[in-house]
């Protein structure tokens, strides 16, 4: 859901390029004992984009009987519906150096609840609240661990903004095409995230997050879950009927941090009366190099691709389980030297029947009850602790 945290969907976040450049400088010139603060402190995946889409079309091997092999995919919720999610992002950056390859890893778990607050025509207003954050990284041998359920103590600099996310949130509107149209109360959310950030770091952190407000504020989970649902502008509710084996496509064009395009193909691979499983395959079109004259650094994206699946509850249209694997190959030039980088980000989104800070129980396809996913009205749900 919204947030660009330390690395948002890696290949697309503005902070991603900043971190790559910082990493390059560290690995070539050496880092002191203080790990540079990250530029992205919220969840991951907010970016400005233009999106083109094709209507679903049947595959050549699609089953012949349309009565049992097709489904109408759409979000079907009533105001007050509340659903808890856990989002996990695991990132790996492998970089070539004169001393050999160096690997940097990062992992974050975000426990959150999302409530449908309002519906106007085909537009839906969601409210997201973060309940717990777990973060771990290993950069150039420096390991950082943070869990918001543990005593505050000495919170690592990189995790200060995450601490401010707990029991904090904002709202956003989604249109009939399941794309973010407006973000509400983000400035208040940002202020809460900066509450524990030292004053000498507040400006740089707030500047790096400022572009996530307004149209640029978009939740990652939206893009990897309900955002992948096909959209039919001729349908009264924007929904579309897809046959088993049928596919549709979407293209996203990015101007920041690097001009690039992501072309994704979605295929309905499995269908039961309770859930639909969608396969996702995407390719990134190489973009022009981005330079930083002050540091004599330039970044060139060579290639990239993504692959994953999303299991969707047919009754609500919500994700039961989404797993996306993004990989990106880059070339970096620094002070006349050139070396390669490979970035991998694995993002998993799972839904739970109850939000628990200790042992949440996963909802999986085939374990649903009463023929579908049961959501809890917000008025009947007690807020979870950090």
pLDDT of residue 25: 31
Burial status of residue 59 (CB atoms within 10 A of its CB: 0-12, 13-18, 19 or more): middle
pLDDT for 206 equals 65
What are the two backbone dihedrals, phi and then psi, of residue 222, each rounded to the nearest 5 degrees? -65, -45
Around Cβ 187, how many Cβ atoms within 10 Å? 13
Torsions phi, psi for 208 (to 5 deg): -70, -20
SS3 236: coil
- Cβ count within 10 A of residue 36: 18
What pLDDT was estimated at residue 54?
55
Residue 220, helix vs strand vs coil: helix
φ/ψ of residue 312, rounded to 5: -115, 135
Closest CA to 338 of 28, 11, 12, 81: 28
Mean pLDDT in consecutive groups of 10 residues from the start of the chain, 386 residues = 31 34 33 33 31 50 56 87 90 85 90 92 90 90 89 77 86 85 84 86 65 39 69 77 89 71 91 92 79 70 91 89 91 81 91 50 40 42 40
- Cβ distance 48 to 256 under 8 Å? yes
- Is the distance from CB of 135 to CB of 143 less than 8 angstroms? no
Predicted local confidence at residue 223, as pLDDT:
62
Q: What's the pLDDT score for residue 92?
A: 94
The pLDDT value given to residue 239: 78
- Work out the number of other CB atoms within 10 angstroms of the CB of residue 307: 14
CB-based contact 370:99 (threshold 8 Å): no
Three-class DSSP category at 168: strand
Task: Count the residues in the chain.
Answer: 386
Cα 222 to Cα 19: distance, rounded to the nearest angstrom: 24
Q: Would you state the pLDDT for residue 4?
A: 32
CA 329, chain centre distance (Å): 20
Burial (Cβ within 10 Å: 0-12, 13-18, ≥19) of residue 106: buried
Parallel, antiparallel, or unpaired: how do β-strands 275-285 and 260-271 relate?
antiparallel
3-state secondary structure 64-77: CCCCCCEEEECCCC
């Amino acid at each position: 859901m919204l947030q660009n945290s330390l690395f948002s969907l890696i290949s697309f976040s503005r902070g991603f390029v900043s971190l790559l450049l910082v990493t390059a400088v560290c690995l070539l010139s050496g880092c002191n004992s203080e790990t540079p603060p990250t530029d992205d402190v919220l969840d991951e995946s907010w970016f400005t984009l233009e999106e083109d889409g094709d209507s679903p079309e049947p595959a050549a091997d699609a089953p012949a009987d349309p009565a049992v092999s097709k489904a109408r995919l759409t979000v079907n919720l009533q105001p007050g519906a509340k659903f808890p999610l856990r989002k996990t992002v695991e990132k790996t950056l492998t970089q070539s150096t004169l001393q050999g390859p160096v690997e940097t890893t990062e992992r974050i778990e975000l426990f959150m609840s999302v409530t449908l607050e309002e519906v106007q025509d085909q537009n839906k207003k969601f409210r997201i609240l973060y309940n717990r954050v777990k973060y771990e990284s290993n950069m150039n041998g420096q390991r950082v661990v943070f869990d918001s359920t543990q005593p505050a103590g000495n919170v690592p600099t990189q995790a200060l903004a995450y601490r401010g996310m707990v029991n904090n949130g904002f709202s956003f509107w989604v249109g009939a095409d399941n794309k973010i149209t407006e973000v509400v109360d983000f400035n208040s959310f940002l202020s809460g995230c900066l509450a524990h950030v030292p004053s000498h770091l507040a400006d740089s952190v707030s500047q790096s997050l400022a572009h996530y407000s307004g149209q640029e504020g978009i939740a990652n989970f939206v893009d990897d879950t309900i955002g992948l649902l096909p959209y039919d502008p001729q349908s009264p509710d924007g929904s579309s009927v897809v046959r088993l084996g049928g596919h549709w496509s979407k293209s996203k064009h990015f101007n920041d941090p690097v001009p690039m395009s992501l072309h994704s193909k979605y295929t309905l691979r499995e269908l039961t009366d309770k859930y639909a499983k969608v396969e996702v395959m995407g390719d990134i079109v190489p973009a022009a190099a981005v330079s930083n004259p002050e540091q004599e650094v330039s970044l060139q994206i060579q290639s990239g691709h993504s692959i994953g699946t999303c299991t969707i509850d047919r009754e609500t249209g919500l994700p039961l389980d989404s797993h996306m694997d993004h990989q990106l190959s880059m070339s970096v030039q620094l002070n006349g030297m050139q070396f390669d980088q490979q970035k991998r980000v694995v993002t998993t989104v799972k839904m739970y029947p109850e939000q628990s800070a200790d042992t949440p129980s996963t909802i999986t396809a085939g374990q649903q009850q009463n023929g579908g996913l049961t959501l809890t009205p917000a008025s009947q749900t007690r807020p979870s602790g950090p």
